[in-house]
Amino acid sequence: MNKPVLDVKDVPSFGQLVTLSLQHLFAMFGATILVPYLVGLSPAMALISSGLGTLAFLIVTKWQVPAYLGSSFAFITPIIAAKAAGGPGAAMIGSFLAGLVYGIVALAIKKAGYRWIMNLLPPIVVGPVIIVIGLGLANVAVSMAMNGPDGKYSLTHFSVAVVTLAATIMFSILSRGMFSLVPVLMGIIVGYVYALAVGVVDLSGVAKAKWLEMPDFLLPFVHYDVRVTLDIVLLMVPVAIVTLSEHIGHQLVLSKVVGRDYIKEPGLHRSIFGDGLATMISALIGGPPKTTYGENIGVLAITRVYSVYVLAGAAVLAIVFGFFGKVTAIISSIPTPVMGGVSILLFGIIASSGLRMLVDSKIDFGDKRNLVISSVILVIGIGDAVVKVSEQFEVHGMALAAITGIVLNLILPGRPKVSDSVFEQKHDVA
C-alpha cells in the first residue's frame, strides 16, 4: 500500500472536500442511474437513496470503511418481474426483504464467524451465477440498442448505440486518470451529443422541469399497500446470495487498497448490515437495491484519498442532485439507444467478472464436479427455467440457478474446504 494522501479519518479542506466528493459522484453516476432507467424507477430516487444508503453504511461501520453504495445490477431482472407481478410497490417490498436477509446474515456472522458463508458461497457457485446476471440481460441491451420507440429496427437508433459503445470503450481503454474511472458517464455524454445531432432526443421535459423539484417518492402505505407474498419472496430474496458474495469480494479488495483488515475491524457483520440497511432505506423511499461500488474503490486506489468525509460528501451531493428537477429531466431525456450502447458493455463486463472470478480462484474444469455445477447453473439461469408448483409458488431464472448451485455444491462429493488463508488471496481492483 502506498502512503495515503488523506487517511480514513483525515478531514480535507473545503475545496478538497467538494472536488474529491464530486469525483466519487461522477464515478458512480452512470451505472447508478442506468438501473432505474432499465427497471422504470425514478433516477432522482436512485441518487437520493444512494446518498442516504451510503451515509447509513458509514454510520454502521463506525466511520471506518470508505465505501460508496450505488444501484445493484443483480436486481434488474427480479425488479422487472416483481413490477410485472404486483406493481412498483411489490418490487420495493421484495427489495426490503432482500435487505432484511443481509441483517440476518450479519447477525449470524457476528455469532458464528464468517467461515460458514464462505463455504456456502464458493467461487464455483457465485462465478456462474454472476455470468447468468450479465448474459441474462443481453437481449435487453441489444433490443434497446437496435429498436426505435415503435419497437422496430432503426438504423439511426442503432448508430446512436454504436457511437455510445465506441466512446465508452475508448474512454475505458485509452484514457488515463479520472476519465478512465468514468467511462460509462463519458460514453453517455458522447452518445447523448450524437443523439442530439441526429434528432432522437426529446428535450420538451427539460424545458418544463423546475430547477428545484420534489422527486417521485414511493412510500409504503401511502403509494402502495404492503403485502408480502411468496412470489415476491422467491423473486427477490435469493438474489441476496449473489450480492452478499459481491459485498465480501469488495471488502477484501478495499482492505488491500486502504491497508486495513475490514473483515476483522469493524467486522464483516457490520459492513454487511450497513449494505442491507442501505437497501432497506432505499426500498422505503422508492429506490433500487444497493451495493458497494467497484468504481469508487478504483477512485480510492488511484487517488490514495481514503477519507470517509469525502465519501460522505459525495453522498450529500447525490441527495442534493436528486432534488434538481432539471438534472432529473436531462437524465430522463437520454434516448434508449444511448443506454442500450452502454448496457452492451456493462452487462458483458458483469458476465466477464463472473468468469474472472473462476479464473482467479483457479477453478479446475477438468474436475467433473466443477463442470457439473457450473453447467447446470448457466443453463438454468440463462434459459430462465421455472419450477412452478402452484400459482402462488414459483421459482425461476437467476433465483433458481443460485439455489440449484448451492444445493449441488453441498450434496456432491469432493467439496473443498475453505482455506485458512482465504483473506490473503489475490483480489485486484476491477
Q: How many residues does the chain have?
A: 430
For residue range 191-222, what is the model confidence (pLDDT) as tens digits? 999 999 999 998 988 888 889 989 889 999 99
Domain-located, residue 3? no
> Which residue shows C-alpha cell 469493524?
266
Task: Show the domain range for 86.
Answer: 14-411
pLDDT of residue 367: 93
Distance (Å, rounded) from C-alpha 363 to C-alpha 357? 9
Across the chain, which has 430 residues, the per-10-residue mean pLDDT values are 82 89 84 87 93 97 95 89 89 95 95 84 86 86 90 93 94 78 84 95 88 91 88 85 82 85 90 96 96 84 88 95 89 89 87 85 91 95 83 73 91 76 44
407: which residues sit within 8 A by CB, 6+ positions away?
Answer: none
> Which residue shows C-alpha cell 439507444?
337
Query: Three cell numbers at 213?
Result: 423539484
Phi, psi of 324 (to 5 degrees): -90, 105
Q: How does the average pLDDT of the chain come out, rounded?
A: 87
Distance (Å, rounded) from C-alpha 151 to C-alpha 136? 20
**HEC string of the chain?**
CCCCCECCCCCCCHHHHHHHHHHHHHHHHHHHHHHHHHHCCCHHHHHHHHHHHHHHHHHHCCCCCCCCEEECHHHHHHHHHHHHHHCHHHHHHHHHHHHHHHHHHHHHHHHHCCHHHHHHCCHHHHHHHHHHHHHHCHHHHHHHHHECCCCCECHHHHHHHHHHHHHHHHHHHHCCHHHHHCHHHHHHHHHHHHHHHHCCCCCHHHHHCCCECCCCCCCECCCECCCCCHHHHHHHHHHHHHHHHHHHHHHHHHHHHHCCCCHHHHHHHHHHHHHHHHHHHHHHHCCCCEEECHHHHHHHHHHCECCHHHHHHHHHHHHHHCCEHHHHHHHHCCCHHHHHHHHHHHHHHHHHHHHHHHHHCCCCCCCHHHHHHHHHHHHHHHCCCEEECCCCCEEEHHHHHHHHHHHHHHHCCCCCCCCCCHHHCCCCCC
Query: Three cell numbers at 410?
Result: 453441498
Domain-located, residue 279? yes
Cα 40 to Cα 33, 80, 143, 192, distances in angstroms: 11, 8, 16, 20
Query: Domain count of the chain?
Result: 1
Domain-located, residue 296? yes
Domain-located, residue 37? yes
Instruction: Give the predicted TM-score (pTM) of the model.
Output: 0.82
Domain-located, residue 9? no
pLDDT of residue 64: 95
Domain-located, residue 141? yes
Q: 395 - beta bridge partners?
A: 387
212: which residues sit within 8 A by CB, 6+ positions away?
Answer: 323, 324, 325
| Contact by Cβ (8 Å): 33, 43 | yes
pLDDT of residue 74: 85
Domain-located, residue 417? no
User: What is the amino acid identity at position 78?
Assistant: P
Phi, psi of 350 (to 5 degrees): -60, -50
**HEC string of 149-218?**
CCCCECHHHHHHHHHHHHHHHHHHHHCCHHHHHCHHHHHHHHHHHHHHHHCCCCCHHHHHCCCECCCCCC
Domain-located, residue 241? yes
